[in-house]
Structure 1
Amino acid sequence: MSGQWNPAVYAHWFVAACSADLRQKPIAVTVLDKPLTLARLQSGELLALEDRCPHRQVPLSQGQVTADGLQCPYHGWTFGSGGRCVRVPGLPPQACLPQVGARAFDVREFDGLIWVRLAKHGDADRGLPRLITDLPAGSRRFLWQTSWSSHIVNALENFLDPLHTHFVHPGLVRKDNQRNGVEAVLTETADGFAVDYRGQVQQSGILYRLFESPRISERAYYAQAGTTQIEYRYQDGSIVRISLHFTPQSADVTHVFASMHIENRWAPAWLLRLLVWPFLRRVASQDAHILALQTKNLHQFPDTRHASTELDLVRPYIEKFWLDSDSKLPQSNSITLYL
């Protein structure tokens, strides 16, 4: 899989950074092979600009935020709202500023994350995924980011595929010798799909035994282009939602932004960091390791094709969007898995 992205992805929003990482200095990020700089102006306005000054092509991410805007470190050209050039040091006061600016992209901030959209003329009505905007205010317990050596299709499949957990996370998430039949029902949605796992009130791993209780339902969501979520609803009325946002830097590097939201359960953030986070960090490192092995091997065997069965439920639906596949897939699909 290459970095020749399906043109449709550029109209979607991707997480570029955590809000807490953008302070007084601009930062450099790369989204879909496009180098960007993010800056927070003194007015509070966010800028997402192509990471180059149009004057002499120096990275704007190495500049600084001034009272006027984002200043290039080479000659001091400064860019304000929308990337417009607002100051060129050395010009006479009466001189006209050059009619040039830094290329700007749509940017917004929500739930502790900074989102960007690269389309030149994006769909003005396309908002952030409702999976995220519908989350109750104040329910987030933690936010975390990392990078995986993986194509986004493989990274998305990893998070949404429960069948790897017995081997990549043995004992933590599930045990191979304690499998039970589960009905998995995939249904396409307006912006992706949802998978309901029916018949699994509890899991066999230590994470469930330590921190969970009997469930009413388990559902996995995918919202184009890079947002996923696993939702657990419990018999005591509580709800846990783990969301992962995947943002491709390149064909082989995907940034991952993870959050956990909890409703109707006493679960202060400090307690989760102390007790739960060490286990979740272990799970994430195990996923990163197996995906890095996969990526390395794909380079050693570049012309091979994946072998799949009906158990690989989500993969075709992810590929249909990301690889611009014209395959015809059913709007609903149901199989039995032994988890």
Structure 2
Amino acid sequence: MTSWPAELYQKWFVVGRADRIGTKPVAAILLKQPIVLARVDGKNVVGYEDRCPHRQVPLSAGRIVDRTLQCAYHGWRFDPSGTLVELPGMPVGNCLPNVRARAIDVMENGGFVWARLERNNDTSIPPAIQSLADENRRFIWQSTWHAGAADILENVLDPLHTHFVHRGLIRFSATRRDTVASCSTTASGFTVDYKGNAQQSGLIYRLFESPREFERAHFYEPGSVQLDYGYRNGSRVRISIHVSPESSHRTNVFGTLHIDGRWAPAWAVRLFVWPLIRRVANQDRDILALQAANIRRFPERKDAVTPFDLVRRRIVARWDANFVDANGNSAYSETLMKL
């Protein structure tokens, strides 16, 4: 079983859609840690470890009372910082015990709630994610996949599976073109540039796209990928995917679609584009579930990594504390492939 690097616990992950978190507590799991989210004051999202320190009952089973989260068992109430503010049944004049519910750092950005389990000096999520304008967002999506986070991230970044898993929707094998893929390190991860493949052969491209000026895939630590398409007519499309692992083989996946400079009202995207994108996502979900199940059948498996697997080592190195590169290379940087 993969052991996560310690620094992941200090990183920000998406743990929920902001529009689905209100004044009723919502349970979530991040890196095996149960947490609870709620808008205790009706506005700002706060997070706690999902247990009452009194008798360990889940705080997600409680309710919001007078800007506090009340445990369902004995009615203990905690303010947004986790401080105990009421112990029902305690005689007047007694001092409250020095007991706290553990608060979890959370922030709201881009339609999502982000959380980190341990505090450090880094107070931000990737700037490229923060800079996405809400008015350009056409949909927001959430799902749970039975696969590991590293394998999902690689899947989103991997174009060579699209001819088979998404045959006809994204690409056809019979129409492959020579494409140069180059990978470069950035301040917050890495970027893969694809040159020589301005058009795709699949249905989605033919229905909704036009010739591309550039095609890039960005990885932002720890668990965000952005597929970035710039078009010759000046428009731009960005698909952002965020992974949030519950365990080594169960991961919450969140996504958005942003469109700049092109007529694409949200209702039209939901009606015409989203059904095809959802089908692509479900195809990835299903193939990754097969992969994850087989990895558990063959726990000692060793991956074959070729020059065409540009991102595999870079992803695994960030997500597996026991990763050792037998070849002595962190990753390949450039290759010619047929897309």
TM range (shorter): over 0.9
2:320 aligned partner? 323
Secondary structure at 2:263 match in 1: coil
Q: Which amino acid aligns with 2:120?
A: G
Q: Which amino acid aligns with 1:182?
A: T
2:9 aligned partner? 10
1:199 aligned partner? 196
What displacement does 1:116 show?
A: 0.1
Q: Say yes or no: does 1:336 pair with 2:323.
A: no
What displacement does 1:94 show?
A: 2.0
Contact (CA 8 Å) 1:131, 1:229: kept in 2 or not?
A: no
Distance 1:331 1:299 in 2: 25
Secondary structure at 1:307 match in 2: coil
What displacement does 1:191 show?
A: 1.5
Contact (CA 8 Å) 1:42, 1:66: kept in 2 or not?
A: no
Mean Cα deviation higher: 240-249 or 38-47: 38-47
Distance 1:277 1:68 in 2: 38
Instruction: Write out aligned runs for 1:37-186 (5 A).
Output: 37-119=36-118, 121-123=119-121, 125-186=122-183
1:258 aligned partner? 255
Instruction: Write out aligned runs for 1:176-325 (5 A).
Output: 176-324=173-321, 325=323
What displacement does 1:92 show?
A: 2.3
Distance 1:137 1:282 in 2: 24
Contact (CA 8 Å) 1:187, 1:332: kept in 2 or not?
A: no
What displacement does 1:93 show?
A: 3.0
Contact (CA 8 Å) 2:237, 2:260: kept in 1 or not?
A: yes
Instruction: Flag structure 2 segments of 5+ consecutive residues without an equivalent.
Output: none
Mean Cα deviation higher: 77-86 or 325-334: 325-334
Q: Which amino acid aligns with 1:61?
A: S
Q: Which amino acid aligns with 2:294?
A: N
Distance 2:329 2:317 in 1: 9
What displacement does 1:68 show?
A: 3.8
Contact (CA 8 Å) 1:195, 1:220: kept in 2 or not?
A: yes
Contact (CA 8 Å) 2:22, 2:42: kept in 1 or not?
A: no
Secondary structure at 1:171 match in 2: coil
Distance 1:299 1:273 in 2: 37
TM-score by length of 2: 0.96
Contact (CA 8 Å) 1:5, 1:322: kept in 2 or not?
A: yes
User: Closer, same or farther in 2 for the Cα pair 1:273/1:39, shift >3 Å?
Assistant: same
Contact (CA 8 Å) 1:231, 1:240: kept in 2 or not?
A: yes
Instruction: Write out aligned runs for 1:20-35 (5 A).
Output: 20-35=19-34
Secondary structure at 1:81 match in 2: coil
Secondary structure at 2:247 match in 1: coil
User: Closer, same or farther in 2 for the Cα pair 1:154/1:244, shift >3 Å?
Assistant: same
Distance 2:262 2:271 in 1: 17
Once the two structures are superposed, what CA deviation does each residue of 1:30-83 show, in whole Å capped at 9, x if it has no partner?
000000111111252322111100001000000001114000000000111211
Distance 1:252 1:333 in 2: 29
TM-align CA RMSD: 1.3
Instruction: Flag structure 1 segments of 5+ consecutive residues without an equivalent.
Output: none
Once the two structures are superposed, what CA deviation does each residue of 1:161-217 show, in whole Å capped at 9, x if it has no partner?
000000000000000111001010100111110000011111010000000001000
Percent identical pairs in the alignment equals: 47
Once the two structures are superposed, what CA deviation does each residue of 1:72-131 show, in whole Å capped at 9, x if it has no partner?
000000111211111111112322111111111110001110000111x322x3411112
Distance 1:326 1:85 in 2: 46
User: Closer, same or farther in 2 for the Cα pair 1:303/1:246, shift >3 Å?
Assistant: same
What displacement does 1:301 show?
A: 1.0
User: Closer, same or farther in 2 for the Cα pair 1:292/1:234, shift >3 Å?
Assistant: same
Paired residues, what number?
Answer: 336
Q: Which amino acid aligns with 2:163?
A: H
Distance 1:27 1:137 in 2: 24
Distance 1:274 1:196 in 2: 31
Secondary structure at 1:105 match in 2: strand
Contact (CA 8 Å) 1:68, 1:78: kept in 2 or not?
A: no
What displacement does 1:271 show?
A: 0.4
User: Closer, same or farther in 2 for the Cα pair 1:178/1:331, shift >3 Å?
Assistant: closer
What displacement does 1:299 show?
A: 1.1
Once the two structures are superposed, what CA deviation does each residue of 1:213-259 show, in whole Å capped at 9, x if it has no partner?
01000000001100110000001100000000000010000110000
What displacement does 1:20 show?
A: 1.1
